[in-house]
Amino acid sequence: MDMELSGSGVITAGDYEKVRISGSGKMEGLVRCDSLHTAGSVHGCELQCRGDVRTAGSMRLDGSLTADEMATSGSASVGGDCKVKNKLKCSGSTRIGGMVKCGNLCVSGSIDVTKGIEAEEIEISGSVCCGDLMNAEKINIETDPQSRVDIESIGGNSISINQNFYKRKSVISRLPLLSAMIGSSGGTAVIKNSIEGDTVAVEGVKAKSVTGRIVTIGEDCEIDLVQYSEQIKIHPNAKVGRQEKI
């Protein structure tokens, strides 16, 4: 059966078809459903959704979440793991207490993941913090002076981290007194350990090591060790401790 809350109310543990919450809602225990659409404030324990989850406003789950697709705008918090079969789209602020596993991850807002991220494709144009390995076939991260990128390690096939110079120059032109502080360090991505892939192209990155078959180290990079097997290109303004052909 369908379940719809308007205003404030409680949804007890059980199996539902369509669940819609507008206002303030509480989900008790394990809730299974075909779809969940929320607008307002929602607090729950654990959610298993056979279809799509769409949230606007604030959603907080103490436990884990599984879904076929998920899109969040506003604030979303999942205490455990978040597993989405297809696309996970975050355009607001998202916090995951466990790991993220999905088909495609698309972030235009911010996402903070305590453990690792596993996906087929990752597209980041906002902020991302990942406490363990970020792993995907294709990873594209775009940084700007207002974003934060803090990742333990990155692994994949095609890896690209680049600075959005248009946004950076736009911010500096609007805030000339801050230009000295922003300088060329705007949009720096911090990778605490390693970046490993087949083709790797990075700019504005600080990392201990970068390893790949074809490696391009762009400007504003600070890399302790670069390893490559076929081709390497290093920007004159990049700082590389040493390079090795493997």
Say if 155 falls within a structural domain. Answer: yes
Torsion from C-alpha of 94, 81, 118, 194, nearest 10 degrees: 80
Based on C-alpha coordinates, what's the Rg of the chain? 20
Say if 55 falls within a structural domain. Answer: yes
Percent of the chain with pLDDT over 70: 91
Say if 206 falls within a structural domain. Answer: no
Say if 54 falls within a structural domain. Answer: yes
Number of domains in the chain: 1
Q: pLDDT digit string (tens) for 145-158?
A: 889 999 999 999 99
Q: How confident is the model at residue 169 (pLDDT cuts 50, 70, 90)?
A: very low
Predicted pLDDT at 168 = 47
Predicted pLDDT at 182 = 39
Q: Is the per-residue pLDDT at 179 higher than 70?
A: no
Host domain of residue 130 = 13-188
DSSP line for 46-98: EEEESSEEEEEEEEEESS-EEESEEEEEEEEEESS-EEEEEEEEESSEEEESS
Say if 113 falls within a structural domain. Answer: yes
Task: Name 170's Cβ contacts closer than 8 Å, sequence gap at least 6.
Answer: none
User: Does this model's pTM top 0.95?
Assistant: no
Say if 208 falls within a structural domain. Answer: no
Query: With contact defined as beta carbons under 8 Å apart, do 31 and 17 qualify?
Result: no
CB atoms near residue 241 (< 10 Å): 11
Q: How confident is the model at residue 98 (pLDDT cuts 50, 70, 90)?
A: very high
Say if 196 falls within a structural domain. Answer: no
Q: pLDDT digit string (tens) for 86-95?
A: 999 999 999 9
Say if 161 falls within a structural domain. Answer: yes
